[in-house]
């Protein structure tokens, strides 16, 4: 019995040693960085970054009244780039602090903005505001809308995000608040009967939302632009429901109700920008890890025996974290996301399934899709750090669906389609007026006189309407 037990223990020990040796052999040598990956690691300041760039004004939007927001933004950006250059030499930096140029808390305290999550009707909310309080706030913060106008009039809007790991995230809240102030003033003009003036203000503001979406090269700014477009569509939809006569200005409104499911507004630019930021950071972080391991080994001595044992220890310590292989894999995973970014919404589910299959192929075999024999730590890091790209893609297509819904609302009102004929009109609608996910007609609820679109993310379209976007037709 004892002999059998010893034999079993010896066999298990031999298998364990063999497994360790096999893993060491598999992960002993890293792979070279591929040329396209090496090219993606090179970052430089974008062209026109400091030439009539509205992004600089956005960076300084929250500066006190009287200061030059563009100059403040330029100073902030130059400081950020200087910190990045120092980081390239030292690989050290400090975590960012909250921006000193934010007016969001002070503006929020005025309570002049509609809470889209709680309010059933933002248009009515703004009309019900105390006129004197609203006028005082608009006067006090006119410098914000002046700055937003300067951004809109700038020749360039070029975002500058270096791969600096301690990057200060630009505060977009003041730009969002400025856009809300524009909504308030547009609504006020229209409610007073100054239709042309109010619509012109609304359209100019909404066109900038689209410009921001078109020129955004980071996910955060792309999502900010989508939020601004959603806000524009909600205000327009509520205006049309209250003032159907506005549909006479259909041609003037056309530029801000065209679908965004085109290459011009694709998520691909934002995904490319994220890869340009993330890859150099990943490469630098992995280099730091290997440098630390090497320095620890060198401290143990320089004799031949120490060097040999140190090499083995280094290899064992870095077992499963192959630097170049991890960066190559990250590049390939971003390539998959870029394909999803340009996929049509009605083919998105198939594209997502195909992407998951391709991702499994890139990762290779792994027990329970978690324990991988080749570069296991590097692969697990990629899975842990994977962005919620599905949510970003859904938000993009949901916003497109909402734009289509409001454009359909405008069309039906402008053409005076009676309620009894709306189902027929929806059935015969062109593709750009249909549900982007299914290409089926938009939904119609005759009881509430609502056009409806079922999205895949929280619509922020009023209370108790999660994933549901609505546009009311006058009865």
Termini Cα distance of the chain: 90
| 218 torsion bin: left (phi>0), alpha (psi -120 to 50), beta (else) | beta
Q: Could you give the angle at which helices 131-140 and 173-191 cross, rounded to 10 degrees?
A: 130
Tens-place pLDDT, residues 199-226: 999 999 999 999 999 999 999 999 999 9
pLDDT(98) > 80: no
The pLDDT confidence band at residue 460, using thresholds 50, 70 and 90, is: low
Model pLDDT, residue 305: 45
Q: Which of 1-15, 138-152, 252-266 is least confident?
A: 1-15
Helix (H) or strand (E) holding 469: strand 468-472
Contacts of 69 (CB under 8 A, 6+ apart): 56, 57, 59, 60, 61, 63, 147, 150
Q: Could you give the angle at which helices 389-414 and 219-242 cross, rounded to 10 degrees?
A: 20
The pLDDT confidence band at residue 292, using thresholds 50, 70 and 90, is: low
Model pLDDT, residue 22: 55
Model pLDDT, residue 24: 60
Q: Percent of the chain beyond pLDDT 70?
A: 83
For the chain, which residues make up each domain, given as ranges?
54-266
The pLDDT confidence band at residue 159, using thresholds 50, 70 and 90, is: very high
| 111 torsion bin: left (phi>0), alpha (psi -120 to 50), beta (else) | left
Q: Percent of the chain beyond pLDDT 90?
A: 61
Model pLDDT, residue 3: 54
pLDDT(95) > 80: no
pLDDT(6) > 60: no
Tens-place pLDDT, residues 108-119: 778 889 988 788
Q: 53 pairs with which residues across the strands?
A: 156
* Assigned token pair, 58: 């956005």
pLDDT(250) > 70: yes
The pLDDT confidence band at residue 321, using thresholds 50, 70 and 90, is: confident
Q: 452 pairs with which residues across the strands?
A: 443, 470
pLDDT(386) > 90: no
Q: For 306-318, what is the mean pLDDT?
A: 51
90 burial level (CB within 10 Å; 0-12, 13-18, 19+): exposed
Model pLDDT, residue 463: 47
Residue with tokens 């790991």: 165
Model pLDDT, residue 14: 46
Q: For 150-159, what is the mean pLDDT?
A: 96
pLDDT(396) > 80: yes
Q: For 280-301, what is the mean pLDDT?
A: 70
Q: For 166-193, what is the mean pLDDT?
A: 91
Instruction: Indicate the average pLDDT of the chain.
Output: 86
Model pLDDT, residue 195: 94
Tens-place pLDDT, residues 43-73: 999 999 999 999 999 999 989 899 999 999 9
pLDDT(263) > 70: yes
**How far, in Å, CA of 172 to CA of 175, rounded?**
5
The pLDDT confidence band at residue 470, using thresholds 50, 70 and 90, is: very high
pLDDT(27) > 80: no
Read out DSSP for 41-65?
Answer: T---PPTTTTSSBHHHHHHTTTSPT
The pLDDT confidence band at residue 160, using thresholds 50, 70 and 90, is: very high
Q: Which of 165, 119, 126, 129 is nearest to 279 (CA)?
A: 165
């Amino acid at each position: 019995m004892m002999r059998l037990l010893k034999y079993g223990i010896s066999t298990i020990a031999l298998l364990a040693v063999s497994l360790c040796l096999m893993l060491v052999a598999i992960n002993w040598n890293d792979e070279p960085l591929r040329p396209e990956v090496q090219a993606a690691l090179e970052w430089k300041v974008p062209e026109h970054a400091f030439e009539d760039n509205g992004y600089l004004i956005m960076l300084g939007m929250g500066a006190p009244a009287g200061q030059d927001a563009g100059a403040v933004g330029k100073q902030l950006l130059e400081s950020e780039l200087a910190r990045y250059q120092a980081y390239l030499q030292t690989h050290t930096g400090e975590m960012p602090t909250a921006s000193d140029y934010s007016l969001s808390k002070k503006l929020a305290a005025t309570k002049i903005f509609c809470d889209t999550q709680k309010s059933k009707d933002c248009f009515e909310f703004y009309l019900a505001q105390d006129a004197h309080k609203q006028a005082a706030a608009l006067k006090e913060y006119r410098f914000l809308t002046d700055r937003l106008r300067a951004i809109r009039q700038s020749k360039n809007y070029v975002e500058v995000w270096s791969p600096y790991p301690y990057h200060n995230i630009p505060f977009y809240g003041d730009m969002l608040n400025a856009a809300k102030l524009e909504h308030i003033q547009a609504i006020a003009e229209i409610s007073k009967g100054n239709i042309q003036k109010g619509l012109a203000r609304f359209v100019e503001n909404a066109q900038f939302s689209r410009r921001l979406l078109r020129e955004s090269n980071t996910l955060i700014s792309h999502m900010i632009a989508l939020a601004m477009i959603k806000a524009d569509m909600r205000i327009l939809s509520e205006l049309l429901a209250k003032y159907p006569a506005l549909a006479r200005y259909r041609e003037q409104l056309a530029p801000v109700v065209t679908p965004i499911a085109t290459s011009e507004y694709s998520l691909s630019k934002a995904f490319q920008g994220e890869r340009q930021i993330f890859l150099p950071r990943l490469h630098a972080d992995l280099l730091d890890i290997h440098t630390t391991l090497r320095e620890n080994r060198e401290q143990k001595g320089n004799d031949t025996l120490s060097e040999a044992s140190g090499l083995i220890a280094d290899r064992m310590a870095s077992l499963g974290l192959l630097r170049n292989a991890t960066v190559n894999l990250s590049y390939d995973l971003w390539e998959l996301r870029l394909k999803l970014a340009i996929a049509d919404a009605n083919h998105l589910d198939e594209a997502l399934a195909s992407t998951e299959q391709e991702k499994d192929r890139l990762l290779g075999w792994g027990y329970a899709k978690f324990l991988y024999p080749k570069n296991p730590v590097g692969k697990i890091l990629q899975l842990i750090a994977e962005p919620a790209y599905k949510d970003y893609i859904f938000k993009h297509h949901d916003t497109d669906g909402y734009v289509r819904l409001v454009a359909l609302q405008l069309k039906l009102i402008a053409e005076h389609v009676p309620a009894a004929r709306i189902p027929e009109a929806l059935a015969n609608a062109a593709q750009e007026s249909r549900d982007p996910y299914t290409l089926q007609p938009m939904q119609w609820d005759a009881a509430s006189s609502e056009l409806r679109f079922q999205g895949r993310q929280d619509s922020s379209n009023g209370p108790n309407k999660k994933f549901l976007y609505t546009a009311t037709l006058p009865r």
